[in-house]
Structure 1
Amino acid sequence: MKKQQGLIHNKIEIVDDRNDVVWAMDVDYKLTAFNSSFKALVEKLGFDNIVSGIDLKEIYASGRFFNPCDRGCQRALDRYATTSKHTFESNGSVVVHEFSFQPFMNSSGEVVGCCIWQKDISQEVDNNHRILESERKYREAQEVANVGHWSWDMKEDKIIWSNQLFRIFEKAPDKFEATFEALLNAIHPDDRDLYKNDVELSIAENRMHDIIHRIVLADGKIRYVHQKGRAYYDEHGKPFRMSGTTQDVTKDILSNQQIMEQNHELQNFVRIISHNLRGPISNVLMLSRIYEWGKDEMNDDIVKKIEHTTEALDQTIKDLHLSLSLKSADKEKFREVYLKDVMKDIDGLLADEISKYKATINTDFTKVDLVFGAKSYVVNIFYNLILNAINYAKEDVPAIISIKTEETVDAISIKFTDNGIGMELTPEKERKIFDMYGRLSGATEGKGFGLYLVKTQVEAMDGKIEVESEKGLGSTFTITFPNTTKT
C-alpha cells in the first residue's frame, strides 16, 4: 500500500510546476498526495495545515469548485475513469475547468484510491467558441453570396465541397462522391472541353483558374457558375492540390442577357420609328421650302414654327442614330491614336474659335503620347471638351486650357483643365451634365449633346470620365483608359 501511495505521490510531483490542480485520495477520502496548486487553492478556501491524511469530504463540500468531486470520485472508486467540464464564476469572469478522475488499483486489481486532475480550459473553450462562431459566419456568408469553396486532392482525385456547394449543384453530401470526373459530368456538355482546358492551362502555367460555365441539375435545369481557383505544387514543382470557390451567378447572367435583349429590341424600335418618321419629316421640310413666304404674316409665323419643330425632331433622330452607332462600336477596328495627331485636327477644326476668343491651349503628352481606340472618337472628345472650355470662359478673360497625360500601372489618364466660370458641382449635377441633352448652364447656346457624346465615346473605348469643378475657378475633366501598354 505504501509503495502504491509513493507511486501516486511521485506522479503528482511531476506536474507540481504547472498551474493544474492535482491530488489523490484513498477509498476513505483521505488525502494521500497533492501538488502546490492544490494546497494554495485549499488554503484560499480557509483550510490550514494541509497534509496527507486529512479528510477531503469537508473540503469537497466547502465550495463550488469541489462540487464535481463527490460524483467523480465515487465513479472512480467504482472503477470508472471519468472526465467532466464545469463552469464557474471567478473574479467577475466565467471560467471552465476540466476534471479527470482516474482510479488506482493494487497488484491484485483492487481499487485503493483515485487521482483527480483539474485544469483551467477557459482559453481553449473560448478559442473553440471563436472558431465555431467564425465557421458559422463563414457559412452564412457563403449562403448569402451563394458561393461555396472546394479543395481537390489531385493524387487521390477527391474533392471536398462545402455545404453551400452541394446546395448549388443540388447534390446530397451522403450520396454524391465529388471527383473530377463526377464534376465534369455535372457540367453542361457544350462547356466541358472549355472548362477542362482552362483547368489544365491554369495548372500548367501556374495561373488563376477563372471561368464561367453552365451546370446541369438532376431535373435538367441549367445554372451558371463562376469558378475560380489555384493549383499548389510540391518542392519538385509537381501539382498536388487545387482549391478555390464556385459562385452561382445564374441571376446575374440571365439579367444581363435580358438587358441585352431589351437593348437590342430598343435599338430596333428606335431604328424602325426613325425610319418611319424620316419620310414625313422630309416632306414637311420640303413643303416649308416651297412655301410662298410674305403673303400672310400669320401663316408665315405658323409655318416657321412648324419648320423649326420639324428640324429639331429631325436632329433628335440623327442624335439617336449616332448614339446607337457609338454604343455598338467595333473594337476590332481600334488602333493606336497619337495625341499630337489629334491636336493637329483640333487646331484645324477650332481655328476660328481659338482665334476669335484668344484661347490658349497647353499640352503635355510626355507621360503618355497615345491611346488605344478610334481616332474619330478621340478627336470628337478633344473637340467637345476644348470647345466647352472656350464657351464657358469668364467674361473678358481668355480661356487657358491645359491638357496633360498621366500613367499608372493599370491606367492612363488625360486631364483637361480650364480657368473658366466653373460650377457648383453635386453628384446629381455631375451625372446630369453627361446625360443626353444635359447642360452645364443656360448661359450659352447649344443642346448639351456634346458631353453625352464624349461620355458615350469614352465608354465605348472602355474608359470613364469624371469632372471636378469649383465656381469661379474653373473645371477639370479627367478621362481614364485601361493601360494596354502594360499587358
Structure 2
Amino acid sequence: MPKKHSLTIQIGFIVTLMVLGLLYIYYIWHKVNRNLEETAIRQAQSISAMLSIEEIKTLNADLTDQEKVSYHFLKRKMHEVLEVNPEATFAYLYTLRNGKVFFLMDSEDEGSENYSPPGQEFTEADQEDISPFYTGRPVLTSPLTDRWGTWRSALIPLKDSTTGKVIAVYGMDYNAGNWRKKALVTLFEHTLIVVLFIVTLVLLVIIQNKNLIRKKEIEYRKKLEIELKKNNEDLSNLVAKNEESEEKLKEAQKTAHLGHWNWDILKEELTWSDEIFNIFGVSKETFSVSIENFERTIHPDDLEYFLKTRDEGLKNSLEINIVHRIVLPNGEIRFVEERSKVIRNKDNEPVSVFGTVQDITGIMLVELELKKAKEKAEEANQLKTAFLQNLSHEVRSPLNAIIGFAELINNQKLSKDKIKHYSEIIAGSSNQLLGVINDVLTISSLEKKQTEVDDVVFDLTQFVWEIHSIFQSRVEAKGLTFSIVTNGFGNVKIISDVNKIRQVIANLINNSVKFTQKGDITVGFNLHEHSLEIFVKDTGIGIEKNDQEKIFERFCQANESISRNFGGTGLGLSISKGFIELLGGTISLESVPGLGSTFGFSIPVKKVGSVEESGQIVFSDIDFTSIVNILVAEDEEVNFFYLSEVNDNKNISLIHAINGEEAVNICKTQKIDLVLMDIKMPVLDGYSAAKIIKSQLPNIPVIGLSAFSINSDKIEEESPFDDYLTKPVNLGLLKKTIKKYLIDKTLI
C-alpha cells in the first residue's frame, strides 16, 4: 500500500509540473507578443519625434508636393528609417481629409511597384488606421491584409504644437509572418527550457525510484543468501542420504538378474545384453544369438504356449508379457518373465520388439510365503472394507475384484494359468485401490494444510528428458503420438518442488491417455525469467464449458457417464490444483468438446544457473559461418532428444541415426561435418561403423560415446575414433570438442 501511495504522489507531482509548464508557456506567449508590440510603438515614436511638424504642414497631399524641398527632406528620412530598422518593411505619412485617407509620402522609390505618390488615396484604410486622428493616441494594428501583403502597423499621431490637432499619422509596417515567427522562436526557447526542467525533475524521480528498488533488491538478496545457505545445508544432508540409497539400489539391481534384448523382425536379428547370457547360463563367446537358438532354450512343455502367446501379441498387441521356463546347458530349469513392447510401422505391421527378461525362479519357489501373504492380504482387505464403506463406486469396484478373485483362487481345481490370471487381476485392482487411498490421504493432507513444499535444485532439461522417458511408452502403448515441446531454455537449473511438479504432470498425462482414443498428446515446457509454464494438450473427448469449473473439485467428474465409462475417483485434478496453489501458481483449462483439452499451469521458480559450475553451457556462441551437420548415432531416442533440447545454435543441424548401419548410409548420402557415435548399438556397433566411415571418408571427425572413461591422449593408433566422450555427455566437453574439430582445426 505505501508503494502504491508513493507512486500516486510522484505521478501527481509530474502532472502538476506539466500543468505549471503549460501555464508558463501560455504566459510567455502573451508576454513576447506584448513586448514586440511595445517595441514597435517605441521605435515608431522615436522616429516620429525626428520628423519636423512644420515641414509636414507644408505638404498638400498632391503631386505638387514632389517639387517641394520639405517633401524630399522627409522622403530621405523615410529611407534612413528603413536602413536602421531592417525589421520594418514600409514607412509612410498620411493625412485625413473629408473622412478619407491620403498618402503624403512613403519610403519607396518612385520606380518601385509599391510606390504611393502624394495624394493617393489609401482605399484599404479601416477604423484602426483612422482612429489616431480622433484619439490622438498611438495604435498597433491587428494583422491587416492590403494590396501589399499582410502587416502589423505602428501608427503615431503627429500633432500641431499650436493647436494640438493631429495633422498627420506616421506609420511603420511590419511583416506579420516575420512578426509571428520571431514570437514563436522566443516561445520555443522558453518552452525548451521548461521541457528540460521537467525532464530533469522526472529523471531525478526515476533515479530516486531506482535507488529505492536497488536498496530493496540488496535487502532481498541478503535474505535469499541466508535461505540458500540453509537450503545448501539441507541439500548436503539429503545428498548423504541419497548416496546411501544409491548404493543399496545398485546392489539390488546387481542381484535382480534383469537383462534386455532387441529383435529386428525385418532383418531377423536378435541381440542380447550381457546379463541375459548369465541368466541362460551360456557364454557370450560361444553362444550364437538368434531366434532359433533362443527357442531351443525354452522348456519343451512351454514352447507351444510361448509361440502362441508371442504370435498373438505380434498380431494384436503393443505389449507381450510371458512367463515360461528355460533349460540351461547343465539341465537346470529356471523360470523367467519376459516383458516386451512391439514396434509397428504406419501400416500397423510389427517391425521390431524390445523387451526385458528377468530370472524369477526364486519368486516361483516361495509359494508358501505367497500363501501367507495372501492370507494377510485377505485380512487387510477385511479391514479396508470397513474403512471404504463410505467411498464411491471407484473404491468398491477394485475391492470387489480383489475379494472375488481371491476367493476363486481357493478352488483347487483351477489351472495355473487361471490362478496366474486371477492373481494379476488382484494385483491390478490392488494398485487401483492404493491409488484411490493415496489420493484420499493426499486430499486430506492438503485440506489440513499439512503438506509442505520441498524445494530442491534440479536440472530442468534432465527433468523434461525424464518425463519423456517415463510416459512415452505408456502413451504410445495406446496408439497415440507423444511429443514434448519447449521454448529452448537450454541447460539450466531451477529451484522448486520437483516431486509435486512430476505428480501433477503425471495426473494430467494419465487423464489425457484415459480420455483420448486417437490422435496425440503433447507436453509443453516454457521457462520464463521467474516462472515455469507447463501444459498437457490432447485430442480427446473434451469437456463441456459448464463442467470445466467443477472438475477441479474433490470427487467430481464432468458427468456421470464419464465415471461410468472411464472410471476414476475425481481426485486427480483436485490434488493437482492443490499442489499448484501450494507452489504459488495457477492451473487453467481450455477445452472444446470433441476436439480435445489443454490443461496448463504456471508456477514461480528461481533460476540458479546452469548445470556446469563454470556457468550456463550454450552452443549459440560458437560462430559458424554456415550450417554444420552433426550426425548423432544413438539407439536411445531420449539421448538424442536431450542433445536436441540443449542445442541452441541455429547453425548446428543434428541428424539422428538409430544404429551403426544407418549412420554409415547417412554419411554416404549426406554432407556430414562431424559424427557422435555411440559405441554400443544394435545392427552394427559404433566401433565397426566408425571403421567403415573413416575408411571411406577419412576427413570426417568421428567422436566415440562410451559409458566407460577413456583418456583421449591414449587412443589406440588403429582406433577409428578421433576422440572419446564419456556418457552421460558433459556439455562443456561436448562444446569444446565441437569447437576443436569444426572451428579450431589447427589444434588437431
TM-score by length of structure 1 reads 0.37
Which of structures 1 and 2 has the larger relative contact order (alpha carbons within 8 angstroms, sep 6+)? 1
TM-score by length of structure 2 reads 0.25
More helix by share: 2
Which one has a bigger Cα radius of gyration? 2
More strand by share: 1
